[in-house]
Amino acid sequence: PVNKPLGGKLAIVTAGPTIEHIDPVRYISNHSSGKMGIAIAEALADAGANVQLVLGPTPQQTSHPDITTTRIQTAQEMFEAVTTRFSQADIVVAAAAVADYRPANIADKKIKKGEAQLHIDLEKTPDILRSLGDTKAPQQLLVGFSLETNNEKEYALKKLREKHLDMIVMNSLADAGAGFNYDTNKITLFDKNGREQSFPLKSKQAVAQDIVSAIIELQHA
């Protein structure tokens, strides 16, 4: 039907931050609220998709009837939640701000304060989106995000290419009203066919509509 262009499709959306444990009381994380990813999950569901939302620790949530939420904490847990569902998915939107590094060892007791400096060794977390890009079937549509403070376009196009994405959503922390915890965002979309679309500052709900429209167009391109 015209009003349910994604009817019968399964979409996976990652959203929110991850947290990476240091010891039983401390962690490393970032300022992601999950609002953009949740808005995308809702827009995909409104377009008829069945949506699996893999959501990191945030007070934000959705009660949309066509969205199933799986709560995770760490990048490793997000990786497992996404990869077990991936083969069924038609569309994946990776809007999560996944921690790039985690403590190489998690202390099993609270680290005590001492006189000297404390050093924590960090190791890389799995790059979820890159591993999906490396294993995806041709008809699966992968959308990533690029949030940078400088050289935004160059980095966005590099990620689009290197992670084998179909589309990337670029937003910049340099734009007023865009990014973490705002209810608004300003994006540019780049797709694998070389199309570039810039949008003005809008509510995250309206931005999500633009992203979903671009996904629907790309499916028919």
Binding residues for CTP: 100, 110, 126-129, 145, 159, 163
The token duo for 54 is: 């893999």
Stretch that binds ligand C5P, among 45-53, 105-113, 122-130, 187-195 (CB under 6 A): 122-130
Please count the residues of this chain forming the interface with ligand C5P, following the rule CB under 6 A: 14
Q: What share of the chain is helix, strand, coil (3-state, %, to 5)?
A: 25, 30, 45
What backbone torsions phi and psi does residue 111 show, to the nearest 5 degrees?
-70, 125
- State the Cα–Cα distance between residues 106 and 103, nearest whole angstrom: 6
50 included as an active-site residue: no
User: Which of 127, 175, 210, 217 touches ligand C5P (CB under 6 A)?
Assistant: 127
Residue at 134: amino acid letter: D
Regarding 210 and contact with ligand C5P (CB under 6 A), the answer is no
Regarding 75 and contact with ligand C5P (CB under 6 A), the answer is yes
Q: How far apart are the first and last CA of the chain?
A: 19
The catalytically annotated residue of 30, 50, 105, 185 is: 30
Regarding 125 and contact with ligand C5P (CB under 6 A), the answer is yes
Instruction: Using the minimum distance from each CB to ligand C5P, give the nearer residue, 30 or 117.
Output: 30
Decide: helix, strand or coil at residue 87. Answer: coil
User: Which of 128, 156, 211, 212 touches ligand C5P (CB under 6 A)?
Assistant: 128
Check: CB of residue 72 under 8 Å from CB of residue 78: yes
Q: Report the interface residues with ligand C5P, using CB under 6 A.
A: 14, 75, 94, 96, 98, 125-129, 144-146, 159
